[in-house]
Structure 1
Amino acid sequence: MAVRVGVVLSGCGVFDGSEIHEAVSVLIALDKRGAAIICMAPDIQAPATNHLTRQPDKQARRVLEESARIARGKIRDIATVKADELDALMFPGGFGAAKNLCTFATDGPACKVNPHVQRLILEMHKAGKPIGLACIAPVIAARVLGEAGARPTVTIGTDPGTAGAVRAMKAEHRDTGPTDICVDQANRLVTTPCYMNDVGPWTVFQGADKMVEKVLEMAGAKA
């Protein structure tokens, strides 16, 4: 039976949603290993960014609809997903992870996490099911599990400001290289920096692939 892996998306595009290279890297790495992929996103309205000018767009967009572009239309509202449907959970990065899944982009360590995202992370953690997070997304686990008293260990690469924010959320930070992963065995977390570094798509894929491999191993899959 295929391992069931939830992939939490936050829109479509690095500046206001999921980072597309990271999301696709995760999806390819999962498919390569025969995982059953369940894409999901919150059904919320969020400000959009013009990716050509990097200026705010006049129109807001629905995160679920934008995420459906990456998922090729096969996607669910995260509010309807329960941990007992999944064996593992994945979060690609992109500013959407810090703006739409939580408010880290504006509120830093005092950020709030989308209630359905928070619920699912806590359900997975309680069940001992692994969670993989890439790029800036590890701040979500730092906030949720740090607040829960679990003292998670994550990486966002080597950026001192973001690492300091992670520690302010009652989590530990471990510096890692662009293709490295950080494994918190106690909390069943695997994190990798991806585009938190100035790197290219191939480097991003290598880190995402290692993260997926380890998460599936922790979920009991054969890589």
Structure 2
Amino acid sequence: MSKQVAVILSGCGVFDGAEINEVVLTLLRLEQQGAQYQCFAPDMAQHHVVNHITGEEMSETRNVLVEAARICRGAIKDVRELDVTAFDALILPGGFGVAKNLSDFAFKGAECRVQADVLAALKAFAAAGKPVGLECIAPALAAKVFGAGVVCTIGNDADTAAAVEASGAQHQACVVSDIVEDAQCKLVTTPAYMLAGSILEASQGINKLVDRVLALA
């Protein structure tokens, strides 16, 4: 029987939502490895909308769930419907949406709060001893889920690593092509576009993360 993986998205677009390449690479690798997945996102307004050509904020409002649906061709559910008993593992791709929509890490750093429904889902997997994969900036939420001492990586950015450690996690420097695993927590992390200069580079660590999460499931 194929393994079932929940994937939580944070919108659509690197600057205000989920990093699209990371999501597609994750879903592709899951299929390549014979796993099945279901995408989820919170039904809430985005923090803001960014013009991805100019980088400037736009005067409009968008919904995280509706925008995330663009990436997975509409096959998505409200994260409040995520039942941990129906899945073997959970993966959270990165993008600024993780730090702006799923949490306020972009604004409060170590003192951030995670969106309640997303936090509940992540904690449910942790409590059940089921593996979790966090990509790119998503490991910044690790201590909020697993508690102080959890080992993770966002790559090698000194300021972000310092904020991750201030939150209670143990940060481990990592190259783009590799992963960091906290065996006790069954947490796997990879830098992805925190370091990647291309989709090919991003795929190396993401493929390893997906493979390891499935092996742990």
CA contact (8 A) 2:196 2:202 kept: no
CA contact (8 A) 2:5 2:35 kept: yes
| SS of residue matched to 2:65 | helix
Rounded to whole Å, the distance in 2 between the matches of 1:196 and 1:165 is 15
Rounded to whole Å, the distance in 1 between the matches of 2:105 and 2:146 is 15
TM-score by length of 2: 0.97
CA contact (8 A) 1:94 1:135 kept: yes
| Amino acid paired to 2:64 | V
Cα RMSD over matched residues? Answer: 0.9
| Amino acid paired to 2:164 | V
Rounded to whole Å, the distance in 1 between the matches of 2:64 and 2:169 is 28
Rounded to whole Å, the distance in 2 between the matches of 1:140 and 1:117 is 11
| Amino acid paired to 1:209 | N
Rounded to whole Å, the distance in 2 between the matches of 1:2 and 1:96 is 30
TM-score by length of 1: 0.95
Residue of 187, 190, 193 corresponding to 1:192: 190
Rounded to whole Å, the distance in 1 between the matches of 2:127 and 2:37 is 21
| SS of residue matched to 1:191 | strand
Task: State the shift of 1:5 in Å.
Answer: 0.3
CA contact (8 A) 1:109 1:169 kept: yes
1:1-223, aligned counterparts within 5 Å?
A: 1-46=1-46, 47-146=48-147, 149=148, 151-219=149-217
Task: State the shift of 1:142 in Å.
Answer: 2.5
| Amino acid paired to 2:152 | V
CA contact (8 A) 2:126 2:145 kept: no
| SS of residue matched to 1:204 | helix
| Amino acid paired to 1:29 | R
Rounded to whole Å, the distance in 1 between the matches of 2:124 and 2:204 is 29
CA contact (8 A) 1:178 1:199 kept: no
Task: State the shift of 1:41 in Å.
Answer: 0.3
CA contact (8 A) 1:142 1:154 kept: no
CA deviation map 1:97-146 (0-9, x unaligned): 11111100011000010111111111101110000011001111233222
Structure 1, gaps ≥5 residues long: none
CA contact (8 A) 2:38 2:76 kept: yes
Structure 2, gaps ≥5 residues long: none
| Amino acid paired to 1:193 | P
Rounded to whole Å, the distance in 2 between the matches of 1:187 and 1:217 is 14
Task: State the shift of 1:198 in Å.
Answer: 4.6
Q: How many aligned positions are there? A: 216
Task: State the shift of 1:161 in Å.
Answer: 0.8
Task: State the shift of 1:75 in Å.
Answer: 0.2
CA contact (8 A) 1:10 1:100 kept: yes
CA contact (8 A) 1:50 1:56 kept: yes
| Amino acid paired to 2:122 | I
Rounded to whole Å, the distance in 2 between the matches of 1:207 and 1:143 is 23
